[in-house]
Structure 1
Amino acid sequence: MTSAIVIVFVLIAVALVLFTVEVIPAEMVALGLLLAFVMTGILTPEQAFAGFASDTVMMILGLLIMTSAIARTGVMSGVARWLQIATKGRKLLFISLLLGSVTALSSFMSNTAVTALFVPVVIAVTRRMGVPGHSILLPVAFASILAGSVTLIGTSTNLVVSGLMQSSGQAPLDMFEMTPVGLVLVLLGVPYLIFLAPRLLPSRSREASMEEVIRAGHYLTEVRLQKESPLVGKTLREARFGEQHDLNVLSVIRENGDQTSGRANTKLRSGDVLLVEGPHDAILKVKDQSGLEIKAEAKLGGAAAENGEPRSGKDDDRVVEALVLPRSTLLHQTLKRARFRERYGVIALGIRRHGENLLSKISQVPLQVGDLLLLQGSTSDLRALEDTGAFRLIGEADTTRFSKGRTIAACAIFVGVLALGVFKVLSLPVAALTGAFLIFATRCASPEETYREMEWKAIILIACMLSVGAALHTSGADAYVGGLLAGWAGSVTPVWILAGIFVFTVALSQPMSNQAAAALVLPIAIQTAAQMGLDARPFAMTVAFAAGCSFLTPLEPSCLMVYGPGGYRFKDFLIAGLPLTLIVMVVTLLMVPIIWPLHPR
């Protein structure tokens, strides 16, 4: 083992730890790893930065522009609207058409974007149907991930695998090369998600403790006691706050900033701010109680009064729930630091995070993916907020922005340029960038709006992780590990090697991004195949299908989006995701050696 191999292994091990603990964003870890390869002399700057100019990154850039534009034209909202009308409250029909729509869209678009669209639809429909949303939300997330294996562009992980294969001297993946296996996975996986997965999820009404049941669906908010409040001078026990208002007092913040716990003998004073939690309807009733006001509204009203404006809200003010999305620019920021009310003209009445007791002021809680905010604002302000791509409105989200002309044009461009790529008229990267150009040229979407909503973090992560393959090859680390695996594999059949590669890739893809896991495993898998005298393509395809198996933890963005609204626990993903992972594994190990023979011809 050379010193270069040792350096590469050490750097990758450090990166794996950082990917797992998530102290630093994944794209920053990948960028640091790339720079470390350069600083230690493993790669030249030209080798390290080649990923940013690769065909893979250019293709992803073009595809992200096109899919973002299609989402903005309203086609996905149109599908959601049709779904609600067509099912008419029939649960089995609803979930069947829902998962069918999810898989169809996710085969060609980002699973994160598709999940973000359908979460509000599921919540709204299940509320009207009177069925538990948690039995449907998780299958939606899983279906969107599963469908990524149907086409080359179903997920960026497939594009990373294709790019690494090309840099290793292999032919890149064709658009529909993965489709035979992907369709079988969908045909087996979707019935499992419809009929079996909901049965594996525990019924919260039976298993949860009474405290957990009471806390379920509760928002955190702040209530100020005005001078005329009849509660002033009373203790919390005497005020019977919980009984009268259905709100649990967590702590009391005095006017001087002192904070005390919400004990029964705590005496209330004028100007106190009560940190309370409760259902959204109870929070909204506070506004109608004499002597009580939600602190956020009080501040906004005061500011308006100073400017000579009326204290009341706009005539079309609405209260909605908003889901924090993975691409939100407000992630890890507090509402106060982001100047949320000043920037968007919307009031945050409460915040909800499943699985964690929030005991800070809502303005001081750093936002996370899957958080739910209770917002009040005008229709135009709420629509503008959703347009930023930071939130998805739930319940009363506006869906009138359906532009038939732009939708038809954007979809025609998308299908047309992909056809040019599939039939080899243009290479796929050129076709994707041509589509992006036409999207802007025909004004289906503006560059400013599209660039704001694009997942630039994914592009940086993928471009940087492509350097890992180069580092493993340049240092000889891939050949070294491949030789060890080939030597160990002498006593077993090649299918068992594929099984080991599948399990290793799945294990890595749980704590870290799928793209990073694929970038780490693929060079080693290709070298293992070479040293065993086998075709490298089935090994690469195994990595591609395995890297998409993000079903065992809620750390995948699509899973994070349903984690909070669905009231799930960490173990729910393991319970429902393990059978689906086994389905993918069995299908992969059976079909891959048939479609892509292990022995070269």
Structure 2
Amino acid sequence: MTFEIGIVLALLAIAVLCFSFEWVAAEIVALGLMLAFVISGVLSPEQAFAGFASDTVMMILGLLLMTTVLSRTGLMEVVSRQLLRATGQSPTRFLWLMMISVGFLSAFVSNTATTAFFIPVVLAVARRMKTPGAMFLLPLAFASILASSVSLIATSTNLVVSGLMQNLGMPAMDMFELAPVGLPILLLGIVYIGLIGLRLLPKRHYTSVEDELKEGKYLGELVLTEGSSFAGKTLVDSRLGEDYDLNVLRIVRNKDQNLRPRGNVTLRDGDVLLVEGPHDALLRIKDMHAVQLKADAKLSALSEADPDTKIVEALLLPKSTLIGRSLKDARFRDRFGVIALGLQHKGRAVRKMSQVNLAVGDVLLLQGPPGELATLQDMGAFRMIGEPETKSMPALRAGLMAACFIIALLIGIFKIAPLPVAVLGGAFAMLASGLVSPEVIYREVEWKAVILIACMLSVGAAMQASGADQLIGQWINHLASGLSPRWLIAGIFLLTVALSQPMSNQAAAALVLPIAVAAAVQMDLNPRALAMTVAVAASCSFLTPLEPACLMVYGPGGYRFRDFFLVGLPLSLGILVITLVLIPVFWPL
């Protein structure tokens, strides 16, 4: 083992630990890894930074722009309406049609976007049918992930594998090259979930944040009497939230003046504060600070008294800037003019919600003007489970955007132009048309994915330049000596699945693919077959709720960590069997 190989393997081991324990964000780990290759002398700056100018990254950028525009056209609203008409009041029929629809859409739009859209639809249908939301939400997430191997653009992981294949001297992946394996995985996976997977889940009922708020907290009116210690202080300085776990929803002054409870509002004698919090806190503050406590108010009275205010549940999305921050640190009320009444964090209601760091899939009960709630949704921070609905484009504009998307894909599929050129051309046509706001689209694009993928492409270059891929390939060749090639496929599949659970799918594929190809070459096997195995396995994210699509249903469905393992393990083993059978058929070893 040379010094350079030792450096590369040590850096990769550190990166895997950082990915697994999430000490820093994945894209920052990837950026640091790329820079470490340069500083250590393993790669030149030109070699390390080549990923940012690669066809793969340009294609991902074009697809992200196009799918972001497409998600704002209202196309999915049309799909959901047709779905509801077709299912009537049958939960079973809705389950099957929902999974089929989600699987089809996720073959062309990211599974995260598809899942985010369908969650409110699914919960609304579940409540109308008086059926637990857990019956539909996990199948929704799994169906979206199952479609990952149907087309090249179904997931960015396929694009990473395709780009690395080119770097390793193989032709890029065709648009539907994976479909002979991906379609059986999608169809058999849906059948498994509908007939077997759901039976493995414990029976649970989805409880809305509003219901939990009503059960666990109280609303009351605090009147600041003369001499109250709160008079003359701003709302922030009163520390009602920090010291008493009370949330101020409204301030009434002089009986007819309603003030929005911003942090810089100065309280006065005679002010009436509508607050929400634990019953014991309301009694305690009454005795200590010269305030009068009126009879409990009702949650519904808040919106009824103010017709310009609505109360909705909101799902936190992966692209939100609030992830990893608490409501207090984000100055949520002051920044957005919206009040958080309750919070479900990782499927459970929390009391001191202002101090909890928010995560993907958290559900907040929000109260505020419809316009500001809609702004939150338009920013891509939340998906509203209740009102207001996202504004969609007029039908003509939506049709033009959909046409741009389809034409761009057809140009790439029939090789009239290279696929990166086709999708960037489609993105250019959408943005240059003036029918959508480029600023809005840029704000919603998942730039973290672009940085992560561009940086992780340097891993393959570092392993090649140092010879680490050849060394590991020799180890695998020695271990697999005398065994059937299918054992190598199984080993590569299991290694990729294991790495993709704690770290991103793209990072796992970037780590394993050079090793798999080197092992195939040394064993005189078809390296393309191993590359396709990595692509399929990297999207097999069913064992934990760490995949973004699974994280989003984790809280609303009231699931537990082990639920994903119980349903996902048989599914993953089934996909392994399909891979072992079909990969050698379509890519002979």
Normalised TM-score (structure 2):
0.86
SS in 1 for 2:286: coil
Output the CA distance in 2 between the equivalents of 1:266 and 1:451: 45
TM-superposition CA deviations, 1:261-312 (whole Å, max 9, x none): 9898996232879xxxxxxxxxxxxxx9736699xx8xxxxxxxxxxxxx99
In structure 1, what is the equivalent of residue 341 of structure 2? 349
Give the aligned residue type for 2:295.
Answer: S
Aligned equivalents of 2:473, 2:124: Cα separation in 1? 51
Alignment match, 1:441: 432
In the TM superposition, residue 92 of structure 1 has moved relative to its aligned partner by 1.6
Q: 1:453-468, aligned counterparts within 5 Å?
A: 453-468=444-459
Equivalent of residue 561 in structure 2, options 560, 570, 576? 570
- Aligned equivalent of 2:324: 332
Amino acid at match of 2:310: R
SS where residue 196 of structure 2 aligns?
A: helix
1:424 aligns with 2:386: no
Q: Does 1:408 align with 2:399?
A: yes
What is the DSSP-based 3-state SS (H/G/I as helix, E as strand, rest coil) of the residue aligned with 1:490? coil
**Alpha-carbon distance in structure 2 between the residues aligned to 1:271 and 1:530:** 79
Q: How does 1:498-577 map to 2 (within 5 A)?
A: 498-577=489-568
Change (3 A) 1:264 1:382: closer
Alignment match of 1:587 (pick from 571, 575, 578): 578
Distance (Å, rounded) in 2 between the aligned partners of 1:223 and 1:263: 9
Q: 1:12 to 1:378 in 2, by over 3 A?
A: same
Aligned-pair distance for 1:579? 1.2
Please say if residues 217 and 352 of structure 1, whose CA atoms lie closer than 8 Å, have aligned partners that are also in contact: no
Check whether the contact 1:254–1:272 (CA below 8 A) recurs between aligned residues.
Answer: no
CA spacing shift, 1:491–1:456, aligned 2, 3 Å: same
CA apart distance, 1:334: 2.0
Structure 2: any 5+ residue segments left out of the alignment? 226-241, 248-276
- Whether the 8 Å contact between 1:77 and 1:402 is mirrored in structure 2 is no
For 2:323 and 2:195, how far apart are their aligned partners in 1?
A: 35
Q: Alignment partner for residue 309 of structure 2, among 314, 317, 333?
A: 317
Bigger mean CA offset, 214-223 vs 97-106 = 214-223
Measured in 1, the distance between the counterparts of 2:323 and 2:208 equals: 28
Q: Deviations over 1:343-385 (max 9, x none)?
A: 322221111113556343x333221111111011222221111
The Cα of 1:251 is off from its aligned counterpart by 8.9
Q: What runs of 5+ residues in structure 1 fail to find an aligned partner?
A: 206-211, 230-249, 256-260, 274-287, 298-310
Which whole-Å CA distance do the structure 2 matches of 1:223 and 1:512 have between them?
43
1:92 aligns with 2:92: yes
Mapped partners of 2:337, 2:287: distance in 1: 25
8 Å CA contact 1:227–1:270 kept in 2: the answer is no
- CA spacing shift, 1:424–1:418, aligned 2, 3 Å: same
Residue type at the aligned position of 1:35: L
Residue 401 of structure 2: SS of its match in structure 1? helix
Q: Partner residue of 1:304? A: none
* Alpha-carbon offset, residue 225 of structure 1: 5.8
Q: Equivalent residue for 1:218?
A: 212
Contact 1:102 1:144 in 2 (8 A): yes
Contact 2:218/2:279 (<8 A) preserved: no
Do the aligned residues in 1 keep the contact of 2:120 with 2:384 (CA within 8 Å)?
yes
Looking at structure 1, the residues matched to 318 and 197 of structure 2 have their Cα atoms a distance apart, in angstroms, of 25
Change (3 A) 1:166 1:252: same
Show the 5 A alignment for 1:379-394.
379-394=370-385
- Indicate which of 268, 293, 310 corresponds to 2:284: 268
Q: Mean Cα displacement is larger for which, 417-426 or 443-452? A: 443-452
How large is the RMSD of aligned CA atoms in angstroms?
2.9
1:143 matches 2:149? no
Q: Residue deviations 1:109-168, cap 9 Å, x none?
A: 110000000011111100010111101100100010110110000000000000000000
Structure 1 partner of 2:250: none
Equivalent pair of 1:77/1:399 in contact (CA under 8 Å): no
SS in 2 for 1:567: coil
Listed as ranges, the matches of 1:36-185 within 5 Å are 36-185=36-185
Q: How many residues of Structure 1 are paired with residues of Structure 2 in the alignment?
A: 539
| Structure-2 residue corresponding to 1:30 | 30
Task: Assess if the C-alpha contact under 8 Å between 2:345 and 2:358 holds in 1.
Answer: no
- Does 312-321 or 570-579 show the bigger shift? 312-321
Superposed, which structure 2 residues align to 1:179-258 within 5 Å? 179-204=179-204, 218-219=212-213, 226-227=222-223, 252=244
1:195–1:109 distance in 2 versus 1, CA, 3 Å: same
Percent identity at matched positions? 53
State TM-score, norm by structure 1. 0.84
Distance 2:512 2:361 in 1: 30
**Deviation string for 1:150-195 (max 9, x for gaps)?**
0000000000000000000000000010111111111111111222
Q: Compute the displacement of 1:420 (Å).
A: 0.7
CA contact (8 A) 2:218 2:278 kept: no
Aligned letter for 2:94?
F
* Cα displacement (A) at 1:85: 2.8
Q: Distance between the aligned counterparts of 2:328 and 2:452, measured in 1?
A: 29
Aligned residues of 2:221 and 2:295 also touching (Cα < 8 A): no
Q: Take 2:468 and 2:493, find their aligned partners in 1: how far apart are those partners?
A: 20
1:290 aligns with 2:286: no
